[in-house]
Amino acid sequence: MRVEEMLAIAFEEALLGDAEGGVPIGAALFRNDGVLLGRGHNRRIQDGDPSTHAETAAFRDAGRRAHYRDTTMVTTLSPCWYCSGLVRQFGISRVVIGEARTFHGGHDWLAENGVEVTVLDDDACTRLLAGFVARSPELWFEDIGVSPEGGVSPEGASP
């Protein structure tokens, strides 16, 4: 399966999150041969659970495995530090990112630590999230742990 086809599945998840009134970020976990293992979207708003990011939802949906070295995490947005930690903790070998213009997360750190990182710079991913940020800046800043003025919020950490 081509990376664009993989991203399309993550993008479908982002659209679901948007339709539910949540942060429109989607992810999917694949075996490196293209077999879909799990998919999910950010549900922080819907579930009132700050740990339900798109990548964690896809990871949970994939279920338990003996190892994750043969997997690729595909996400519509550069993973935050929390999700980047998940990738490193479980040895996910590759990350494909729809866009990193709206938010530049931990993907440089992942690459520095041996994870293969591909940033596709996908316009549809950028438009979807930019539209959300314009409509709901307070929810966006809450999601990334930054106050609207640009500083670190008392509850969060700078991305």
Q: Which residues are catalytic?
A: 55
- Angle, CA of 120, 126 and 130, to the nearest 5°: 160
Which of 103, 105, 69 minimizes the C-alpha distance to 88?
69
Which of 46, 54, 61, 3 minimizes the C-alpha distance to 27?
54
Are 70 and 93 spatial neighbours (Cβ–Cβ below 8 Å)? yes
Are 68 and 91 spatial neighbours (Cβ–Cβ below 8 Å)? yes
What whole-number distance in Å separates Cα of residue 31 and Cα of residue 152? 36
